[in-house]
């Protein structure tokens, strides 16, 4: 009898492991189907010099926010690549130690709200959120916050001290070999993160902690007009971000458990405010102000979402399709 019980327990464990590994692969496959083509397209755009052209094009816009024109190239590299790419250009241009804390904080806000757009916009699209809305929200939100910060810092003469150089990276050559190596590491890291997080979610669900986390999040979600069913999407986005957490976000959105409007509002919030730990630390390394990089960004995102949630309630069902749809 004991042998039979042990056999049944072992069979159940094997089935659970198999189910978990299948889940990991499906999530990872959904992510790399988006990431790999987009990464290749962005690489070609970079080699053609289009990022530099666009950076020159927005130089006057950067000046309106109290930033030197060359920071336009930093933001473009950041938008088409990621925050690491923006940081690399920042140091390559010799901007480290040349700007005030206020200027770096404004630039940091632009980088935090609008980065990795080709990949993250496509991930949002896979969850049902329209491309044009995501671009308008993130780029428009970044510009609005940048202008507010510049006017505030200039008027009250805040953070006008030279920004400290906290980190000096080693600049490597941008060859195809180095590029493939970097992207390969990114894809492997994404697989490891998905594997670990899916296991953690299963464990938390088994011991009942997942319900406690959802309960703690419910007051914030209620303010934003979002159902508690979207808690998992919110947690994944706030901790991992949209790129590394993309596969899990798509899985949750396609599960059918969360209403399309809740997915829309959650992804809108995460578009403005995600990966709170890693992204914030990266911007601090440039010499930005912590309050700006974390708390002001969070407060701005919450304020935008309160307004957006009220607008979403008044939008007719027919017009909702302009903003979001049920993911396939």
Give tens-digit pLDDT for 123-156: 999 988 999 999 999 999 999 999 999 999 999 9
How many whole angstroms separate alpha carbon 283 and alpha carbon 87?
Answer: 8
d(CA 141, CA 153): 18
Higher-confidence residue of 306 and 175: namely 306
Q: For residue 230, give Cα distances in angstroms to 4, 108, 225.
A: 41, 28, 11
Among 205, 307, 208, 328, smallest CA distance to 260 is for 328
DSSP per residue, 60-127: HHHHHTT--TTHHHHHHHHHHS-HHHHHHHHHHTT-TTTSBHHHHHHHHHHHHHS-SHHHHHHHHHHT
| pLDDT tens-digit series, residues 57-96 | 899 999 999 999 999 999 999 999 889 888 888 988 888 8
Query: Cα–Cα distance between 126 and 34 in angstroms, integer?
Result: 9
What pLDDT digit, counting tens, does each position of 230-247 carry? Answer: 888 888 888 878 877 777
Angle, CA 176 vertex, CA 184 and CA 83 arms, to 5°? 60
Buried b (16+ CB within 10 A) or exposed e, 111-131: bbbbbbbbbbbbbbbbbbbbe
If one compares 79 and 50, the residue with the highest pLDDT of the two is: 79
Least confident of 70-84, 133-147, 188-202, 258-272: 188-202
Mean pLDDT of all residues in 262-267: 89
User: What are the pLDDT digits (tens) for 104-118?
Assistant: 999 999 999 999 999
pLDDT at 11: 76
């Amino acid at each position: 009898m004991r042998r039979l019980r042990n056999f049944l327990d072992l069979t159940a464990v094997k089935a659970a492991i198999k189910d978990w590994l299948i889940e990991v692969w499906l999530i990872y496959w959904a992510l790399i189907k988006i990431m790999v083509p987009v990464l290749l397209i962005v690489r070609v755009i970079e080699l053609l010099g289009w990022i530099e052209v666009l950076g020159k094009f927005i130089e006057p816009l950067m000046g309106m926010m109290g930033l030197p024109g060359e920071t336009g190239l930093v933001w473009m590299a950041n938008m088409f690549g990621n925050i690491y790419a923006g940081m690399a250009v920042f140091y390559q241009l010799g901007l480290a130690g040349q700007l005030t804390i206020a200027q770096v904080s404004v630039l940091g806000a632009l980088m935090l709200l609008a980065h990795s757009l080709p990949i993250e916009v496509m991930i949002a699209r896979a969850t049902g959120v329209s491309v044009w809305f995501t671009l308008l929200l993130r780029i428009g939100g970044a510009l609005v916050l940048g202008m507010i910060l510049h006017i505030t810092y200039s008027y009250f003469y805040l953070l006008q001290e030279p920004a400290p150089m906290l980190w000096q990276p080693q600049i490597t050559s941008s060859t195809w070999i180095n590029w493939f190596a970097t992207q390969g590491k990114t894809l492997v890291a994404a697989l490891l993160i998905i594997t670990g997080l899916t296991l953690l979610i299963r464990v938390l669900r088994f011991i009942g902690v997942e319900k406690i986390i959802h309960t703690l999040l419910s007051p914030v979600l209620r303010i934003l007009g979002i159902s508690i069913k979207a808690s998992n999407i919110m947690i994944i986005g706030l901790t991992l971000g949209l790129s590394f957490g993309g596969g899990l976000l798509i899985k949750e959105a396609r599960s059918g458990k969360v209403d399309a409007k809740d997915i829309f509002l959650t992804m809108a919030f995460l578009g403005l405010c995600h990966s709170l730990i890693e992204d914030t630390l990266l911007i601090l390394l440039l010499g930005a102000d912590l309050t700006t990089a974390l708390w002001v960004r969070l407060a701005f995102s919450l304020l935008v979402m309160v307004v957006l949630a009220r607008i979403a309630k008044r939008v007719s069902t027919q017009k909702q399709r302009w903003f979001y749809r049920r993911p396939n």
